[in-house]
Amino acid sequence: MRRLNLALLLIGLLTLVGLVWHIGPNRILEAAAGLGPLALLIILLPSVLMYALETFGWRLTLGRYAAAVAFWRLCAVRTAGEVVNMTTPAAYVGGEPLKAYLLQRSGVPLVEGLASVVTAKTTMTIAQIAFIVLGIGLAFRSLGGSGASGGSSDGPVLAAGVGVALLLAFTAAFVAVQHRGLFTGLLELLRRFKIRIAYLEHREDRLRDLDRTIVNFYTRDRRGFLLSIGFCFLGWLAEALEVYAMLYYLGGPADFLTAISIGALSVFIKGGTFFIPGSVGAQEAGNLLLLVAFGYSDVTGLTFALLRRLRELVWIGVGLVCLAALGGKAGTVQMGEVKKG
């Protein structure tokens, strides 16, 4: 698996280098030259808002334990966990157990922490689907079935629509499984295949408590469930603000509806390339093709993609600082030792 990840990362890096070489480093630098410190700061501000709104959405899933963790600390825990999600090929869920562990160190019982991580991931995914569906609808409106070059652009948008339908079906199935018992169901499935994992077998009662806590959130706190989806959706709209700011400062025509379309389809592209570490190369190529489909130049498209990557690198740096401050390294080691045991 490690060799495969390295191979995918190498292919992604070669793709990125090839794109830069093909378009021309000088042309890209010229396009980015007009971005001063103030412009870069403004471009980064929407992601701060996005993190804050999504943290509020997560806070709503903590129930009575929400008051036990200060908002700034909860935001730091989320940021630390997202570093793992952004830098490992684990379908953007690798950092979720770490979030639960860090919550436990903040006074939230492990069962409640894990339950909130699962439910928050669910509400965020539902909000993400709604955002992508909105973006696809606006893309049909903006493009009118043809790109700026006169070529048909229905194909990529329709492909995204099919992908969203599959994602929606998967999410609905995931919520249904949670209602029936996600973790105890997994335990029973392993038993059917005569796979016995001592660590899980000895904690069956705790797994039942975890499933019960998840179901209780959906059935007894529907207001919190809906509000969590709402805050996460606003977080995705904040990402569209980032797209708008980037397009504006790159000198291209920008309007917020188009920014929503590009932002939503960009999120879809990134999610579809989760198996590549950091989506390196694939994310840049996808964003380039996406902006060209919306009538922007290839220089603007790749510069936009590189700015998005720069924002990710900034947040990875912030996340690493949060991880160190919260003692995440020790927590990761301890979780690894538990799994071995």
pLDDT tens digits, one per residue of 148-164: 334 445 555 666 667 77
Distance, first Cα to last Cα, the chain: 22
Query: Mean pLDDT over residues 271-288, rounded?
Result: 83
What's at 264, amino acid-wise? Answer: A
b/e per residue, 108-134, with b = 16+ CB within 10 A? beebbbbbbbbbbbbbbbbbbbbbbbb
Residue 157 lies in a domain: yes
Tell me how crowded residue 260 is: count the other CB atoms within 10 A of its CB.
Answer: 24
**Domain range enclosing 143:** 41-274+312-340
Q: Is 232 helix (H, G, I), strand (E, B) or coil?
A: helix
Backbone angles phi, psi at 146, to 5 degrees: -150, 145
For the chain, what is the domain count?
Answer: 1
Band the pLDDT of 273: cuts 50, 70, 90. confident
Residue 33 lies in a domain: no
SS3 content of the chain, % helix, strand, coil (to 5): 85, 0, 15
Mean pLDDT, the chain, as a whole number? Answer: 85
pLDDT at 260 > cutoff 50: yes
Residue 55 lies in a domain: yes
Nearest to 165 by CA among 219, 111, 122, 129: 129
Q: CB–CB of 51/318 below 8 Å?
A: no
Residue 170 lies in a domain: yes
- Global pTM? 0.84
Residue 299 lies in a domain: no
pLDDT at 232 > cutoff 80: yes
Torsion of CA 176, 182, 185, 186, to 10 degrees: 130
b/e per residue, 157-170, with b = 16+ CB within 10 A? beebbebbeebbee
Residue 9 lies in a domain: no
pLDDT tens track for 299-320: 999 999 999 999 999 999 999 9
Residue 214 lies in a domain: yes
Residue 36 lies in a domain: no
